[in-house]
Amino acid sequence: MNFGKVAVLLGGRSAEREVSLKSGAMVLKALRSRGVDAHAFDPSERDFDFLKKEGFARAFIVLHGRFGEDGTVQGILEWLGIPYTGSGVLASALAMDKLRTKRIWAAEKLPTPSYELLGEDTNFRIAARKLGLPIMVKPASEGSSIGMSKVRAAGKLQEAYRAAAKYDRVVIAEQFIDGVELTCGILGEEALPLIKLETPREFYDYEAKYLSDETRYLLPCGLPAKKERELRALCLAAFRTLGCEGWGRVDLMLSKRGRPYLLEVNTAPGMTDHSLVPMAARAVGLSYEDLCVKILEGAHVG
């Protein structure tokens, strides 16, 4: 396809800027290797008006976190009439917000861990008693595990809340699911093979995701074929329930009793050398370069 002049949106001004720069550089190189007229565009350094002024025909969004993955950039691109990759405005905003995501999944009877909304006026001991220990504490609208912590003692819950509140006004405490951590890449109408994540750290945090060489990615994931099919179908349903489209990633836990719990959806997942969607795509015969082209083919307005 002749895509015209393509802007690879990278960097930005979220807490995930550094990861986005790495992802964007790899996407840019991959698209150029396939003959695409692709150019880096960092919205923290240039105004979006330049996309129109300089004749960009499409945008490949590799911005992670706020002001990129939360519907804001998608809205600007729709206003400008420039087709972009990934989910639309509403789906991006919902998926970025873990609290609203969980409420929608619960309303649709999709399994997700129990949670409590935290604030300065929260009775933290009661919250800990309701959820049981340990507890995962998360900023509602951050990614890459930024501001996230695992709490093993009720007396530490308020401290974890305040650490998370530095990144977001909305903070949730979530029931910890002891079991297997899995992730499922979504590409178009297909749920890609599951990847099992193993780390010696407390949980799959920022260091485990981007820096550690000790993190293990198991693909095939080791589950029976029937179970994996069921979980992939569940992830696709979770993705669609939020109105997501194009591509993305769904994270989930499988308890020791074999029950799945959906954690979150990423609508602009990482595309670094440690990233999971490219890994899953390779398992179905899709190279990194071809994956990037396929994502770009799905660019749309609204």
Reply yes or no on whether 261 is catalytic: no
SS3 151: strand
Instruction: Identify the active-site residue in 70, 174, 264, 289.
Output: 264
Instruction: Identify the active-site residue in 86, 246, 270, 289.
Output: 270
Reply yes or no on whether 288 is catalytic: no
Instruction: Find residue 149's DSSP bridge partners.
Output: 137
Instruction: Identify the active-site residue in 20, 23, 87, 144.
Output: 144
Reply yes or no on whether 249 is catalytic: yes
Instruction: Identify the active-site residue in 84, 167, 206, 210.
Output: 210
State phi, psi for 295 to the nearest 5 degrees. -60, -45
- Report the run of H or E that residue 27 belongs to, with start and end: helix 17-33
Instruction: Identify the active-site residue in 71, 266, 275, 288.
Output: 266
Instruction: Identify the active-site residue in 97, 142, 228, 251.
Output: 251
Other CB atoms within a 10 A radius of the CB of residue 215 amount to 18
Instruction: Identify the active-site residue in 11, 12, 14, 16.
Output: 16
- Contacts with 135 (C-beta within 8 Å, 6 or more apart), sequence order: 128, 150, 151, 157, 160, 173, 174, 175, 176
Instruction: Find residue 8's DSSP bridge partners.
Output: 40, 60
Beta strands in 171-271 (DSSP E): 171-175, 179-187, 190-191, 195-198, 216-218, 247-255, 260-266
Reply yes or no on whether 264 is catalytic: yes
**Longest CA–CA separation in the chain, Å:** 59
Reply yes or no on whether 71 is catalytic: no
Amino acid at 211: L
Reply yes or no on whether 246 is catalytic: no
Amino acid at 37: D
Q: Beta strands 115-118 and 58-61: pairing type?
A: unpaired
Reply yes or no on whether 210 is catalytic: yes
Assess contact for 138 and 98: CB atoms under 8 A: yes
Amino acid at 283: A
Reply yes or no on whether 251 is catalytic: yes
Instruction: Identify the active-site residue in 248, 249, 261, 288.
Output: 249
Q: Annotated active-site positions, please?
A: 16, 144, 210, 249, 251, 264, 266, 270
